[in-house]
Amino acid sequence: MSAVSCLRPVSALALSLALVATPLVARPPMSEVSKVTEGLIATGIAHEISEVCPSLQARRLRGFGFLMSLRQHARSLGYSRDEVDAYVDNDAEADRLEGIARARLAKMGAVKGQPGTYCRVGRREMAADSQIGRLLR
């Protein structure tokens, strides 16, 4: 028996295990997928601005398309529809992201009870063509 023929069963076994193990590679929790969380935070900020500033509105179709692109990104990373839905429906995670969005909005200059500050932030984001600005009109 040659050295090569002795390795064939081992190589086949190793290849089989590698193929089986590949889908089992641990993915980070979706809360650690920056593109998804940052996209949701930007959407939340744009929504808040559109709710408070009377002169700016949310671009709903663009917003929907953007949210669908985030969903597709998560799916492309291997998350199932059920996993994506569970993340989106997770109240604790929604509260966490909302808190981050409100803190960022305040840091950007929005002051609760002063709609003009929200309008200024929104217009500045629109001028910068940021993701937040692209979700407003």
Tokens of 34: 């920056």
Question: For position 26, what pLDDT does the model report?
Answer: 80
Q: What mean pLDDT comes out for the span 23-48? A: 91
* Percent of the chain residues topping a pLDDT of 70: 82
> Which residue reads 């990104």 in tokens?
73
Q: Is residue 23 over pLDDT 70? A: no
Q: Is residue 3 over pLDDT 90? A: no
- Each residue's pLDDT tens digit, 80-115: 999 999 999 999 999 999 999 999 999 999 999 999
User: What is 57-103 written as a DSSP string?
Assistant: -B-HHHHHHHHHHHHHHHHHTT--HHHHHHHHT-HHHHHHHHHHHHH
Of residues 37 and 19, which shows the higher confidence score?
Answer: 37
Tokens of 84: 């994506």
Do residues 121 and 109 touch, judged by C-beta distance below 8 A?
Answer: yes
Do residues 53 and 132 touch, judged by C-beta distance below 8 A?
Answer: no
Question: For position 25, what pLDDT does the model report?
Answer: 62
Q: What mean pLDDT comes out for the span 69-86? A: 97
Whole-number Å distance between alpha carbons of 59 and 135: 5
